[in-house]
Every structure is written in structure tokens, then in C-alpha cells.
Amino acid sequence: MDIIFLGGLEIKTIIGIYDWERETKQTIVLDIEMGFDIEKAAETDDIQYALDYKTVSKRIISFVENSQFFLVEKLAVEIVKIIQNEFNVPWVKLALNKKGAISGASDVGIIIERGDRKR
């Protein structure tokens, strides 16, 4: 399984359980690894056989900007579902960083992994 990645994708969204978090967009940072067989794309040098990471990122940006979840867990799971279902990606690892959410910590968030990495 080959891995295509997006690193440091910053998106503003409503996320959190506190009243002020429901009124103020915060920046989350996503690091995404996507398992994808690149062999046919490499053989043909044709984008139609590749995982178009620009299209993936635009879809995720649009979704996150328009979402209003309470928990980072819910947001992370929904992002992974989109990647797997809409882009036929069998394995995804996502790190969602809600920078500055905890005083004294520069980073806080969640890492999830879904699917079969061996396909």
C-alpha cells in the first residue's frame, strides 16, 4: 500500500463544547495519510488513475469550514468517512490538532486510523 499525505492543512471551524467556542471559529490542523495503490498512475502518468489530493483537500476544507461539531472525535470520524467513501481510499490515518485548546500545551487533538492498510 502506498501512502499519499496532506500535512498541516489549516482550516477554521466551529468546534467545541463551551459557549465561546460555539461563537468563534477556531483553527484546526489536519495531517492525513491515505493508503492508495499508485501503480497504475505511475505506469500511465495519468491523473485519472491517481488520488487527486487537491480534490480531496478542497472537499475536506469545504466540509470542515461548514461543520459545527462539539467534539473533535466526531469531526475526525466524519472526515475519514468522506475520504474513504467518496474517494475509494481503503485506509486513512488522520491527526486532528486543535492548537492551543489547553493552556500550557501547544498541541492537543486526536489521531484515528480506519480501514485496511494491507489492501
Catalytic residue numbers? 98
Task: Let me know: does 32 contact 5? Beta carbons within 8 Å.
Answer: yes
- How would you classify residue 49: left for phi > 0, otherwise alpha for psi between -120 and 50, otherwise beta? alpha
Radius of gyration in angstroms for the set of CA atoms belonging to the chain, rounded to a whole number: 15
Strand-strand pairing, 2-15 and 68-69: parallel
Distances (CA, A) of 89 to 1, 35, 81, 97, 108: 11, 6, 10, 22, 26
